[in-house]
Amino acid sequence: MFETSRIPVVMTPEEAYSSLMEGNQRFTSGAPEHPNQDAERRATLAQGQAPFATMFGCGDSRLAAEVIFDQGLGDMFVVRTAGHALDAAVLGSLEFGVDGLHTPLVVVLGHDSCGAVKATKAFNDTGAMPSGFQRNFVEHILPATLSPSLGAEATVNDMVREHTRMTVERILEQSPIISSAVSQNRTAVVGLFYHLAEGTVELVHATDNIATGFSATR
């Protein structure tokens, strides 16, 4: 995991973002290319890795990042937890993606009908807390479900979008390594919302140093 490639991929944040959006369009149009999955690619990656994006997403089985963005082996450094709950281990992993692998883009990926957010909303409504260590992701998601920016009629999907936005902000607030890389234009951070049925992604939030002109589908 901690080996980098001898020949790093050189991309700008905008180029990395566009590559993901183009891959998602291939996926949704039914014309995926399934790149970088052959024996030659595996042999190259045995010498080290040089992904162009660090992806932090929900652990939902329907949210396989390499599939929905039509990417291959070694293209993305992926970190996943239920409800993309952010903790110290996740932050350290994201910092490695930026500082160790030099990825020009960090993506926070949420999705509609998120079970972890539903569980957090249920806790708000009924006081019922999931058992065992599951309470940890509820506690991490709770601030988003109680956000003052959400109205009384906020849906689970509204809460997921707010949680995604707040996660981007928390990464920047809590990680000097990542915020410094953003200020130096070495990376950018975006928040995306994935639509399960349609397969499309929606841009929720982005740092000021990236031009997201390549439209994300709403």
Task: Give 91-132 pLDDT, tens digit per residue.
Answer: 999 999 999 999 999 999 999 999 999 999 999 999 999 999
- Binding-site entries for Zn(2+): 58, 60, 111, 114
Closest CA to 114 of 77, 167, 71: 167
- The residue type found at 164 is T
Residue 77 lies in a domain: yes
Q: Is 18 inside any structural domain? A: yes
Asked if the structure places residue 36 within a domain, the reply is yes
> Quick one: average pLDDT of 159-184?
98
- 107: domain CATH number is 3.40.1050.10
What is the band of 214 on the pLDDT scale with cuts at 50, 70, 90? very low
- Measure the CA–CA gap between 21 and 69, rounded to whole angstroms: 7
- Non-local CB neighbours of 76 within 8 Å, separated by 6+ positions: 51, 52, 53, 54, 55, 65, 66, 69
Please tell me the total count of domains within the chain.
1
Q: What is the value of pTM for the model shown?
A: 0.92
Write the CB contacts of 88 (distance below 8 Å, at least 6 apart in sequence): none
Q: Is residue 23 part of a domain?
A: yes
d(CA 162, CA 97): 24
Can you say which residues are annotated as belonging to the binding site?
58, 60, 111, 114
Residue 97, domain member (yes or no): yes
